Amino acid sequence: MHDIKFIKENRIDFEESMKKRNLKISAQLIIDMHNSYLESLNQVQKFQEKKNILSKKVSKTTNFNESKIKEISSEVKILKDKLESCKNESDQKKQKLDEYLMQLPNLIDIKTPIGLSEKDNKLLKEKGERAKFNFKPKDHLEIAEKLNLIDYKKAIKISGSRFSILKSELALLHRAVMNYMLDINTQFFQYTECSVPEMVKDNCLYGTGQLPKFGEDLFKTNFNNLWLIPTAEVPLTNFHREDIIDLKNLPLRYTTFSNCFRAEAGAAGKDTKGLMREHQFGKVELVSIVHPKDSFKELDRMTNCVEKILTELELPYKMIELCSADLGFSSSYTIDFEVWMPGQNKYREVSSCSNCKDFQSRRMKTRVKNFNDGTIFFPHTLNGSSLAVGRILIAIIENYQNENGFIDIPKVLHKYMNGIIQIKD
């Protein structure tokens, strides 16, 4: 939820930030909606005061005759009806304002480059040397199917398209990558490991910004109004929904592996086969809740975590600063990581690390209190993929393939692979 006070005091800046996202939003419309709500609320308070005065008058006075009491009681009833009507009007105006604000994305940080599309994203860093093959590299799907490591026919039979079944050493490699990432996150970067529910209430999705705007990309169950999570950012960030956190407990850092579920509604015809874009996929997630003055320092810490993993896996990668038009709904500033996929002859995204500032904490009503001086404020939230496991499997298969069609295992994963250092027939 946006801060109305900020919009009133910075209407031009607010509109400019939305314009950079290719949105034309009127700050004055929001201000008028809020003022109309305040007028109704003020009227509610006036009617309530009048009703209270008359009610006390009847209860405290015994000298009134019966007709006078009936007269005052009639006035109280009229005021009560007016109060109820005005309260309903006030509630409706507040709901309409909240629904409108819930549709608006986060404000853009000054560091975010301005652009009209992903073509305007900015390259920050490129690291790692691409593997040189003395043969034409194959894509991950061809390699995995030849080695009988993946089964799409069975997946389609039981679930339909955009699902896969990993088998044998590839299933083990999936588990190895997951455990390796969690070890890095917890042992080197002090994130607290959690195991989280993979279904959440709709208010959690409103809190992190997936609802109401992106409902078509989510899977809703028919049980207790629960949704399958599109990312573990949702449960991890909502740990502190409607909480008041003690300042001395900041920063809070969480990590988890979870399955994630997305309808891929806007991806018709894209990556329909393979591990790149599935309805269900595994991801290791990072979430931080920090003091506002520390959020960009925390983002650096988060990206350092991702870089350590990619460097140790010896995967060539790019670090990309997203432009205003490509920025996610809840993000104020985002850095993406793209890894070289030789079988596809291009870099593909494997991680996105975002500073959401106080956008999510306002929506979740998450606050921090300094119990020494009584000050209360909204913390900043950050989230990042560390990393998308399926996409890292693609990168390993394609970068570590050899001319025999076998897959070498990155050295850093050897201890997680039960002694297997190469996947072969």
Domains, the chain, with CATH or none? 4-102 (1.10.287), 118-423 (3.30.930.10)
pLDDT band with cut points at 50, 70 and 90 for residue 243 = very high
Which CA distances in Å does 303 have to 14, 209, 306?
28, 22, 5
Residue 56's pLDDT is what?
Answer: 75
Residue 425's pLDDT is what?
Answer: 84
User: What is the full DSSP assignment across 242-269?
Assistant: T-EEEGGG--EEEEEEEEEE---TT-TT
pLDDT band with cut points at 50, 70 and 90 for residue 61 = low
DSSP state of 30: H
Residue 62's pLDDT is what?
Answer: 58
- The CA distance from 254 to 298, in Å, is 13
Among 22, 17, 1, CA closest to 112: 17
Among 380, 255, 231, CA closest to 309: 255
- Residues 229/208, Cβ–Cβ less than 8 Å: no
pLDDT at 268 over 70: no
- The CA distance from 232 to 194, in Å, is 10
For the chain, give the mean pLDDT: 94
Name the CA dihedral angle for 56, 60, 64, 66, rounded to a multiple of 10 degrees.
Answer: 70
- The CA distance from 369 to 74, in Å, is 47
Residue 249's pLDDT is what?
Answer: 98
Residue 185's pLDDT is what?
Answer: 98
pLDDT at 57 over 90: no
Question: What DSSP element (H or E) covers 283?
Answer: strand 280-290
- The CA distance from 120 to 181, in Å, is 31
Which CA distances in Å does 358 have to 110, 222, 331?
15, 32, 10
Lowest mean pLDDT among 71-85, 168-182, 295-309, 332-346: 71-85
| pLDDT above 70: percentage of residues in the chain | 95
Q: Per-residue pLDDT tens for 158-205? A: 999 999 999 999 999 999 999 999 999 999 999 999 999 999 999 999
Residue 296's pLDDT is what?
Answer: 98
Q: Sign of the C-alpha dihedral, residues 32, 215, 336, 378? A: positive
Q: Per-residue pLDDT tens for 351-404? A: 999 999 999 999 999 999 999 999 999 999 999 999 999 999 999 999 999 999
Length of the chain: 425
Residue 76's pLDDT is what?
Answer: 75
Residue 25's pLDDT is what?
Answer: 97
Residue 82's pLDDT is what?
Answer: 85
- Residues 269/218, Cβ–Cβ less than 8 Å: no
Which CA distances in Å does 221 have to 158, 227, 239, 283, 320?
18, 6, 21, 21, 35
Among 381, 325, 318, CA closest to 351: 318
pLDDT at 421 over 80: yes
- 58 or 35, higher pLDDT: 35
In this structure, what token pair is assigned to residue 98?
A: 């909240």
Maximal C-alpha separation, the chain: 107
Lowest mean pLDDT among 240-249, 256-265, 307-316, 346-355: 256-265
User: What is the full DSSP assignment across 111-166?
Assistant: TSPP-SSGGG-EEEEEESPPP--SSPPPPHHHHHHHTT-EEHHHHHHHT-SS--EE
| pLDDT above 90: percentage of residues in the chain | 87
Determine the average pLDDT of the residues in 56-73: 67
342: left (phi over 0), alpha (psi -120 to 50) or beta: alpha
pLDDT at 87 over 80: yes
pLDDT at 59 over 90: no
- Residues 395/339, Cβ–Cβ less than 8 Å: yes
Query: What pTM does this model have?
Result: 0.93
